[in-house]
Amino acid sequence: MSKLLQVIGVLAILGFTGAGFGAWMLTKNQVHLTVEEGAGDRLSSVDPTAELADRFTALQSDLRGLAQTLGKNFELLDTAAAEREEEAASAREADLNATRAELARLEQSFAAQLERALAAERERHATALGALQGELSALRAALAERPAAELAAGAATPPESAPSRPPSEVPATELSQGAIPAGAETSPVATTPSPEQGQAAPPQPSAAGESAEPAAPAGKPRKKRSFVAFDLPSDSFRFEGRRTWEIVPSLSRVGFDAKSTLHDFTGATQKVAGNFTADLAEPQVEPQGAIRAEAAALNTGLPDRDTAMYEKLETSKHAAISFTVLGFRSTSSDLKAMKVAGVVRGRLGIRGVEKEIELPVRLAIDDARRLSVEGELVAKMSLWGIEPPSQLGMISVQDEVKIWIALRARATEAKQ
């Protein structure tokens, strides 16, 4: 009896050993132990040269923008210089016209003053001449009243014995004949002009002088452009504003994390494309977008497992896994740090079946002015008609998988 039990024990051990060896032979090429990556490490496998290439592309874009802006700014400088020269010429012409008008006014004022002075001088001389003529007439009348004998006696007196007389006693006949005694001097008759004649009227601006002054420019003055008003592109980025973002495939990954009886594994691909449009400061306002990933490019690290996965996804009929944005609900926002968290609502299409889902996401602008979009959710494969794979009824994959995205995108345009 004891020997029989020993034989049964040996056979049982051999049976269990054989079963274990057979199971190992069946699964040795499909067992792949991995350490689950965190959401922040899903881009760690991205090729560093792709990161460098993207930054170089961004630098080229910035340089092109700078070159275009410099060309425009040099045109602005040329225009500003021409405007300044035109303004200076206009100012010089206005000053010259004002000087000419002032000279014309002064000339007319001087001519008027000279005419008034000449008229006053003529009047003064006429008055003096009238006074002299009156005195001469009085002298003639006085001489006519003297006796003829006195005139005769005066004429008979020898010149040497004739007493000298002052010039005021010289007979009018001698004055009339031009005989002027020696020592007598003639002096002009000075007349004091009246106050009305002696004061000259102050110069009055003439009508012609007033009309010669330049008129004030009419109309709205033209806005001056600063000569150094350069408009250079800024390195700063404004979080506000509606923009369209284009996904950078070389820096993006989408995939899933699955759990099986023996191990966990991940499937991912960088063959993803798409774009979305939104105002990151207000992402809930009419967001738009669509993302497509190549289903046959998903890679789990094992060719046999990938082949089985492609059969489940029916990649020959449905080449792409798609997601269409329907809306966004913001849960937190930091405009200064340029970060937003929320839930994006959309339709996820797998194997030709679309289901509406809500995907929690985190949005942020990195130091290269790229938009980072990361998110994940847990969903059941059976919702899209996918039966979880299993082998020999012993190794099976759980129905629930974690779907995740890790995207990098660049702004292509700004929409107002």
> How far is residue 361's CA from residue 373's CA, in Å, rounded to a whole number?
7
User: Is residue 181's pLDDT more than 70?
Assistant: no
> How far is residue 370's CA from residue 237's CA, in Å, rounded to a whole number?
10
More reliable by pLDDT, 16 or 299 = 299
Residues 212-234 pLDDT 10s: 444 544 555 555 555 455 555 55
At residue 51, the pLDDT reads: 75
Stated as kind and residue range, the H or E segment containing 359 is strand 353-365
pTM score of the predicted model: 0.54
Residues 235-253 pLDDT 10s: 567 888 999 999 999 999 9
Residues 381-413 pLDDT 10s: 999 999 988 776 667 889 999 999 999 999 985
> How far is residue 254's CA from residue 266's CA, in Å, rounded to a whole number?
11
Tokens of 338: 């340029």
Q: Which residues contact 26 (CB under 8 A, 6 or more apart)?
A: 391, 392
At residue 290, the pLDDT reads: 97
User: Is residue 167's pLDDT more than 90?
Assistant: no
Rounded to whole angstroms, what are the CA distances from 255 to 293, 295, 374?
Answer: 9, 10, 12
Tokens of 335: 């405009």
Split at pLDDT 50, 70, 90, the class of 75 is confident
Stated as kind and residue range, the H or E segment containing 134 is helix 48-145
> How far is residue 115's CA from residue 119's CA, in Å, rounded to a whole number?
6
At residue 367, the pLDDT reads: 87
Rounded to whole angstroms, what are the CA distances from 218 to 91, 123, 213, 222?
Answer: 15, 49, 15, 11
What's the average model confidence in pLDDT over 127-135? Answer: 91
Neighbours of 248 (CB within 10 A): 22
Tokens of 382: 């059976």
Q: Where are the domains of the chain?
A: 81-212, 238-415
Strand-pairing partners, residue 340, are 333, 363
**Which is nearest to 65 in space by CA: 227, 229, 235?**
235
What's the average model confidence in pLDDT over 306-335? Answer: 95
Q: Which residues contact 182 (CB under 8 A, 6 or more apart)?
A: none
User: Is residue 415's pLDDT more than 90?
Assistant: no
> How far is residue 186's CA from residue 134's CA, in Å, rounded to a whole number?
18
Split at pLDDT 50, 70, 90, the class of 314 is very high
* Percent helix, percent strand, percent coil in the chain, to nearest 5: 40, 25, 30
At residue 18, the pLDDT reads: 61
**Which is nearest to 313 in space by CA: 305, 301, 325?**
305
Residues 16-60 pLDDT 10s: 566 555 554 554 444 443 444 444 566 666 677 877 777 777 777
Fold of 238-415: Lipocalin (2.40.128)
Tokens of 213: 């002054």
Compute CA 254 distance to the chain's CA centroid, rounded to the nearest angstrom: 40
What's the average model confidence in pLDDT over 149-175? Answer: 51
> How far is residue 84's CA from residue 255's CA, in Å, rounded to a whole number?
62
Alpha-helical runs (H) found in 340-409: none
